[in-house]
Amino acid sequence: MSVPYELSVNGHAHQVEDSWLGESLLFVLRERLGLTGSKVGCEQGECGSCSVLVDGVLVCACLVLAASAVDAEVTTIEALGDDVLTDVQAAFVSEGGVQCGFCTPGLVMAVHDLLDRNPAPGPLEVREAVSGNLCRCTGYGRVLAAVEAAVSTRASRS
Ligand code: FES
């Protein structure tokens, strides 16, 4: 069944036409709206590569029906760092937390979510926050270093 609906993504209203109501938010973001920053990984909510915010809550877009996000605000990686990297993105680059980069959008979303809620997380809180994001390249050491660097940057600004 196909019914047109509207999604608010990164502050912009998008008309979704000819969409089967069972399509995931990830599919609609990528294939219908052209927002390909959220990556298709496991499609089972295990790898975190498709992490987005729905009304400020971090979710795996592969597990959310797009039509259920009507009336919600969806925030994707495209909302961050248009021309200039965010502090978290810059920390991932400077600390070597980006290798193949497939996991990076999801990790960046998860770390922004963490630091926006808690600007000074402890080591266990950081590990818990990124525990839903699988990375095959970095061994996580560089990811944790990037989070530490981003925390330091924020602390030095306040
Ligand atoms: Fe390659 Fe994380 S940098 S999967």
Mutate to test the pocket of ligand 1, among 42, 102, 142 (most ligand atoms within 8 A of CB): 102
Q: CA end-to-end span of the chain, whole Å?
A: 51
What contacts 11, CB < 8 A, 6 or more positions away?
73, 79
pLDDT along the chain (158 residues), means of 10: 92 95 97 98 98 98 98 97 91 97 98 97 98 96 98 92
The two three-digit tokens of residue 68, written as one number: 């259920």
pTM: 0.96
* Residue 54 bridge partners (DSSP): 57, 74
Report the candidate in 75, 68, 71, 37 with the shortest Cα–Cα distance to residue 53. Answer: 75
Ligand 1 atom 1, closest CA: 100
Q: How far is the CA of 3 from the centre of ligand 1 (A)?
A: 37
